[in-house]
Amino acid sequence: MLNRYNAATRTVVSVILLVLITTVSWAQAVLRGTITDEAKTPLAGVSVVLVGTNAGATTDGEGKYALKLPDGTQKVTYSFIGFNTVTKTVTVAGADQTLDVQLEAALSNLSEVVVVGSRASQRSIVDSPVPVDILSAADLKTTGQPTFDKSMQYRVPSFNTVNTPVNDATTLLDPWELRNMGPSRTLILVNGKRKNLSSLLYVQFSPGRGETGVDISSIPTQAIKRVEILRDGASAQYGSDAIAGVINIILKDKYDFSSLDINTGITSKGDGGMYSVAFNGGSNLGGNGFLNYTLNLQQQNSAVRSGTIYAPSEKAAFGGSAASDALIDAYLKDFPTANNINGTGETSAARFLINGGVSLGNKLELYGNAAMVMKRVSSFANFRTPYWRQDRGLLHSPTDNGGKNYLTAATLAFPKEDNVDLYKGYIGYVPTFEGDMIDHNATLGVKGETNGWKHDVSLTTGFNGQTYTVDNTVNRSLGKSSPTRFKPGGYEFSHLVGNVDISKQVTDKLGLAFGMEARSEKYTIIAGDEASYTQEGSNSFPGLNPLNAGVNQRFNIGAYADLSYDVTKDFLLNGTVRTENYSDFGNANVFKVSTRYKIADDKVVLRASYSTGFRAPTLHQIYAQSIQASFVGGQIQSSGLFNNRSAQARLLGIPSLRPEKSTNLTLGVALNPTKNLNITLDYYNINVKDRIVYSSSISSSDKTSSLYGILNQYGVTSIQFFINGIETNNSGLDAVVSYRNILLGAGKLGLNVAGNFTINNEIVGTPTDPAPIKAAGATILNTQIKSLLTESRPRYKVIFGADYGIGKFNINLNSTLFGSTSFQDLDNGGAIMEHIKATFVPAAVTDLSVGYLFSKNVTGTLVVNNLFNVLPKWDLIAQDSEGAKAIADPLAKARLRGDLGFSGRYDILGYNGSQFSQLGTTFFANLNIRF
- Per residue in 87-110, pLDDT (tens digit) is 899 988 878 889 999 987 654 454
Whether residue 196 has pLDDT greater than 90: yes
Handedness of CA 878, 884, 886, 889 (dihedral sign): positive
Separation CA 64–CA 238 (nearest Å): 43
Q: Where are the alpha helices (DSSP H) in 701-740?
A: 706-713
Element (H, E) at 895: helix 890-900
DSSP reduced 3-state for 302: coil
Whether residue 931 has pLDDT greater than 90: no
Whether residue 352 has pLDDT greater than 90: yes
Q: Are 199 and 218 in contact (CB under 8 A)?
A: no
- pLDDT value, residue 327: 94
Rounded to an integer, the average pLDDT of 184-207 is 92
Rounded (5°) CA angle 413-416-419: 70
- pLDDT value, residue 816: 96
Q: What phi and psi values does residue 638 have, to the nearest 5 degrees?
A: -90, 130
- Per residue in 494-525, pLDDT (tens digit) is 999 999 999 998 998 999 999 999 999 999 99
Confidence band of 680 (pLDDT split at 50, 70, 90): very high
The share of the chain scoring above pLDDT 70, in percent, equals: 91
- pLDDT value, residue 120: 54
Whether residue 114 has pLDDT greater than 80: no
Whether residue 194 has pLDDT greater than 60: yes
Whether residue 453 has pLDDT greater than 70: yes
CA 925 to chain CA mean position, Å: 24
- pLDDT value, residue 4: 45
- Say how many C-beta atoms besides its own lie within 10 A of residue 513's C-beta: 21
- Per residue in 790-816, pLDDT (tens digit) is 998 999 999 999 999 998 999 999 999
**pTM exceeding 0.75:** yes
- pLDDT value, residue 631: 45
Separation CA 113–CA 589 (nearest Å): 29
Q: Are 490 and 465 in contact (CB under 8 A)?
A: yes
What domains can be seen in the chain, in order of their start residue? 2-102 (2.60.40.10), 113-306+341-389+428-930 (2.40.170.20)
Poorest-pLDDT segment among 230-234, 419-423, 472-476, 668-672: 419-423
DSSP reduced 3-state for 677: strand
Strand partners of residue 838: 823, 876
Average pLDDT over all residues of the chain: 88
| Pairwise pLDDT comparison (779 vs 51), residue with the higher score | 779
Separation CA 303–CA 343 (nearest Å): 6
Among 651, 658, 624, CA closest to 770: 651
Q: What phi and psi values does residue 172 have, to the nearest 5 degrees?
A: -70, -30
- pLDDT value, residue 630: 47
- pLDDT value, residue 908: 65
Separation CA 639–CA 644 (nearest Å): 16
Strands (E) in 381-431, as ranges, are none
Separation CA 919–CA 923 (nearest Å): 11
Separation CA 397–CA 408 (nearest Å): 17
Give the gyration radius of the chain's Cα atoms. 29
Region at 540 (left for phi over 0; alpha for psi -120 to 50; beta for the rest): left
Confidence band of 12 (pLDDT split at 50, 70, 90): very low
Element (H, E) at 8: helix 6-19
Q: Are 24 and 287 in contact (CB under 8 A)?
A: yes
Q: What phi and psi values does residue 311 have, to the nearest 5 degrees?
A: -55, -45
321-345 burial, b for 16+ CB within 10 Å, e for fewer? eeebbbbbeebbeebebbbbbbbbb
Q: Are 75 and 89 in contact (CB under 8 A)?
A: yes
Q: Are 59 and 46 in contact (CB under 8 A)?
A: yes
